[in-house]
Amino acid sequence: MLRFLKLLLIAPFAILFLVFAFANGQFVTVSFDPLASGDVPAYSIEARMFIVLTVAIMIGVVAGGVATWFGQGKHRHAARTYRAEAERLQRELQAAKAALVPPQNSVKRA
């Protein structure tokens, strides 16, 4: 059942990607030389447009994930600090409970 649901969710995206790839199959030149003086830049590649766009989207997703990870660093630090404090307080509570337990050899009243 889970396999069918995965297929049901992935299939439309795969079809959309294929349609996008067929519609944008022309070759484009991607230049990495901002100071190019002629028609042919020094650092450039030719690739199909859908590949260029797909790679750009992938780079954007990774860059966004890294930025989010760095942005949440203070929250992860606070969680580690609070977890350590909770563990310390738990140990103190266990020690205090152990100190309050009456000895087993106490005198029984009749």
Domain boundaries, the chain: 1-61, 69-100
Alpha carbons within 13 A on the beta-carbon side of 79? 5
pLDDT in tens, 84-97: 999 999 999 999 99
- Calculate mean pLDDT across residues 27-53: 84
Nearest-angstrom CA–CA distance, 72 and 75: 5
Residue 27's closest CA among 55, 47, 54, 53?
A: 47
pTM of the model: 0.64
Altogether, the residues listed in the chain come to a count of 110
